[in-house]
Structure 1
Amino acid sequence: MQVPSPDYTLTLAPNQWLPLPQKHFREATDGSESTVETNVQLSYDEEYLLIDFECPDNPYWQQNTYTEHNTELWRQEVFEVFIATGPDTPTRYLELEINPNNALFVGWIHNPTKEGDAITLDMVPYEQAGIAHEVRTSPGSWKGRISIPRRLIGDPQSTTYRLNFYRILLLEKPTTPDWEGTPDTCSYLCWSPTLSGATPRFHRPDSFGTLVLGE
Structure 2
Amino acid sequence: MRIAGAVAVVLGTLISASTGSSLAAQYGCSNPNTYRITKCGTESEWNPILTLQIATDLVSEPQFNFPPATVQLCYNQTNLNMKFVASGEPSYYVNSTLGHNDNIWAYTVMETFLQTGTDDPSNYLEFEVAPNGVTYSSFVYNPSLVRAAGAPFGHFFVPVYDNGNQGAFIGISANTNTNPAAKTWSSQVSFPLSLFNVNSPEGTFWRMNFFRTVMVQDNTQNWVQHYGAWNAPNVVSFHIVPCFGRFLFDW
**Structure 2 residue 167 is matched with structure 1 residue 136:** no
The aligned runs of 1:79-118 (5 Å cut-off) are 79-117=110-148, 118=152
1:29 Cα deviation from its structure 2 partner:
5.8
Answer yes or no: is the 8 Å Cα contact 1:78–1:167 preserved in 2.
yes
Unaligned runs of 5+ in 2: 6-26, 41-46, 162-168
**CA spacing shift, 1:173–1:60, aligned 2, 3 Å:** farther
Q: TM-score, normalised by structure 2?
A: 0.72
Identical columns (%)? 25
Q: Which residue number corresponds to residue 40 of structure 1? A: 71
1:171 Cα deviation from its structure 2 partner:
2.4
Q: Which residue number corresponds to residue 9 of structure 1? A: 34
Distance 1:203 1:4 in 2: 13
Residues 143-175 of structure 1 show CA distances to partners (whole Å, capped at 9, x for unaligned) of: 111100011133333511101001111122798
The aligned runs of 1:1-215 (5 Å cut-off) are 9-15=34-40, 16-21=47-52, 23-27=53-57, 35-117=66-148, 118-127=152-161, 128-139=169-180, 140-158=183-201, 159-172=204-217, 185-196=224-235, 200-215=236-251
**Range that drifts further, 55-64 or 162-171:** 55-64
Q: TM-score, normalised by structure 1?
A: 0.83
Q: What amino acid is aligned across from residue 69 of structure 1 in structure 2?
A: H
Q: How many residues align?
A: 204
* SS at structure 1 position matched to 2:217: coil
Unaligned runs of 5+ in 1: none
**CA spacing shift, 1:109–1:3, aligned 2, 3 Å:** closer
Q: What amino acid is aligned across from residue 122 of structure 1 in structure 2?
A: F
Q: What is the CA RMSD across the aligned residues, in angstroms?
A: 2.8
